[in-house]
């Protein structure tokens, strides 16, 4: 049983804390909106009033926030996570942010005598709840070995990728394929539908075919009905696509399907769909095909 901290208790972060509590760990948590964390407090999570207080209370502190600006917000300043770190503590950042931002943050963590790994995850709320999440880790190997068992309590597949920032590069490489796959799936559904095949039938066939990745299997049905709460909305998906294209530019790797898919995310935002699950790119393509949902 470990003494843990967690900053960022949104949909994914909250479910991770729930798993850590179920494994018997002590967890001190902070979220910008306390009401969203009440269900975890009711399950035994301790509440802290700032990221600094979380890091001061814990031996290992996790963070799961939306983007590079958000991780800077919760780590910097007098109430930031950095201010609560001290010698021997570990910071595990699960957020998907810029690798360069993460490396710079790791250097600041080490100035405090602590250490940091970037540890983004691949999967959805469903895969997390089912215990099928995949975890990637970048940082010093000895630090990875200290937190490996904790990460295994979050997901069954934990892979050490290399030095700081490389787990994020791997996560970005994974995530660019999500929107690309969703675009190809949408094209297939619409081609079948305009040929005279019922949309429900096309979705059923495609989600049980050779093209049905795990992501297509659980997100494909969203073209029939969006979930009540987006698992991964358009804004979040586009954030990762932009990270991918920036990394591609830096490394001279052309990403043509990423670029095209990103334009459909922009179109979705222009149509007022930014807060819907990114599977809504289907609706954009449907409108272009002359089909109204």
**Residue 216: CA atoms inside 13 Å, Cβ hemisphere, count?**
23
Distance CA 53, CA 47 (A): 9
Within 10 angstroms of residue 207's Cβ, the number of other Cβ atoms is 18
CA angle (235 as vertex; 102, 182 as ends), nearest 5 = 105
Of 112, 132, 171, 194, which is the active-site residue? Answer: 171
- Give phi and psi for 80, each to the nearest 5: -80, 165
Is 108 annotated as catalytic?
no
Under a CB-based contact definition with an 8 Å cutoff, are residues 277 and 226 in contact? Answer: yes
Q: Is 137 left (phi over 0), alpha (psi -120 to 50) or beta?
A: beta
> What span, in angstroms and rounded, lies between the C-alpha atoms of 119 and 73?
19
Between strands 115-118 and 90-93, the pairing is parallel
Query: Among 222, 263, 126, 243, which residue's Cα sits nearest to residue 176?
Result: 243
Strand 121-122, strand 115-118: pairing = unpaired
Sort strands 134-138 and 121-122 into parallel, antiparallel or unpaired. antiparallel
What is the residue whose two structure tokens read 């996570």?
81
Asked if residue 40 lies in contact with residue 18, where contact means CB atoms within 8 angstroms, the answer is: yes
CA atoms of 267 and 210, how far apart (whole Å) = 29
DSSP string covering 85-106: --TT-EEEE-S---HHHHHHHH
Name the residues annotated as catalytic.
Answer: 171
């Amino acid at each position: 049983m470990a003494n843990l901290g967690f900053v960022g208790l949104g949909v994914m972060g909250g479910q991770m804390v729930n798993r850590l509590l179920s494994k018997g760990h002590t967890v001190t948590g902070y979220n910008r909106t306390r009401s969203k964390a009440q269900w975890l407090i009711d399950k035994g999570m301790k509440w802290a009033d700032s990221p600094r207080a979380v890091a001061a209370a814990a031996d290992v502190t996790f963070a799961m926030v939306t983007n590079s600006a958000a991780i800077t917000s919760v780590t910097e300043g007098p109430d930031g996570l950095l201010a609560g770190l001290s010698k021997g503590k570990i910071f595990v950042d699960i957020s998907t942010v810029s690798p360069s931002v993460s490396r710079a943050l790791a250097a600041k963590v080490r100035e405090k005598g602590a250490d940091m790994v970037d540890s983004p995850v691949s999967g959805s709320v469903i895969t997390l709840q089912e215990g099928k999440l995949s975890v990637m880790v970048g940082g010093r190997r000895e630090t990875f070995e200290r937190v490996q068992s904790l990460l295994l309590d979050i997901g069954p597949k934990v892979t050490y990728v290399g030095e700081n920032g490389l787990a994020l590069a791997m996560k970005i490489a994974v995530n660019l394929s999500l929107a690309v796959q969703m675009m190809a799936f949408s094209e297939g559904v619409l081609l079948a539908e305009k040929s005279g095949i019922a949309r429900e039938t096309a979705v059923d066939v495609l989600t049980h075919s050779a093209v049905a990745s795990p992501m297509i299997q659980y997100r494909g049905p969203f073209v029939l009905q969006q979930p009540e709460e987006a698992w991964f909305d358009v804004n979040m998906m586009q954030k990762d696509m932009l990270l991918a294209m920036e990394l591609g530019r830096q490394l001279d790797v052309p990403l043509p399907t990423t670029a095209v898919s990103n334009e459909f995310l922009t179109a979705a935002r222009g149509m007022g769909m930014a807060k819907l699950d990114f599977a809504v790119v289907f609706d954009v393509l449907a409108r272009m095909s002359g089909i109204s949902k």
